[in-house]
């Protein structure tokens, strides 16, 4: 099975870009993406979310806590946008 890519990047690289704020997910970004890449991106975002949550929590560093929470928020927002986009187009994200 070939590795899916979006705009010349692997799905993992795109999810890191989303988490770091370099790429925003919106319906215009998702429109040209095919169904397999969309489901792959959805699952890769969930994996990245688990990875970020699994990192050691920075207990006494307020800036690191904020950075971690912003990354999780971006990933969660991307998941919600992808879910709604898929629901409107009747795409099942299994």
* pLDDT value of position 8: 82
Query: Each residue of 22-39: pLDDT tens digit?
Result: 999 999 999 999 999 999
* pLDDT value of position 2: 53
* pLDDT value of position 43: 96
Task: Report the half-sphere exposure of 79 (CA within 13 A, side-chain side).
Answer: 15
Q: pLDDT confidence of 3, banded at 50, 70, 90?
A: low
Complete DSSP assignment for 51-84? HHHHSPP-SS-HHHHHHHHHHHHHHHHHHHHHHH
Q: Please state, rounded to an integer, the average pLDDT across all residues of the chain.
A: 93
* pLDDT value of position 94: 82
Q: pLDDT confidence of 1, banded at 50, 70, 90?
A: very low
This prediction's pTM: 0.91
**Percentage of the chain modeled with pLDDT above 70:** 97
């Amino acid at each position: 099975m070939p590795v899916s890519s979006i705009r010349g990047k692997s799905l993992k690289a795109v999810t890191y870009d989303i988490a770091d704020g370099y790429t925003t997910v919106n319906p215009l970004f998702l429109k040209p993406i095919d169904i397999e890449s969309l489901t792959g991106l959805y699952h890769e975002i969930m994996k990245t979310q688990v990875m970020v949550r699994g990192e050691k929590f920075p207990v006494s560093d307020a800036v690191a806590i904020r950075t971690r929470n912003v990354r999780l928020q971006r990933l969660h927002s991307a998941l919600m946008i992808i879910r709604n986009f898929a629901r409107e187009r009747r795409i099942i994200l299994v």
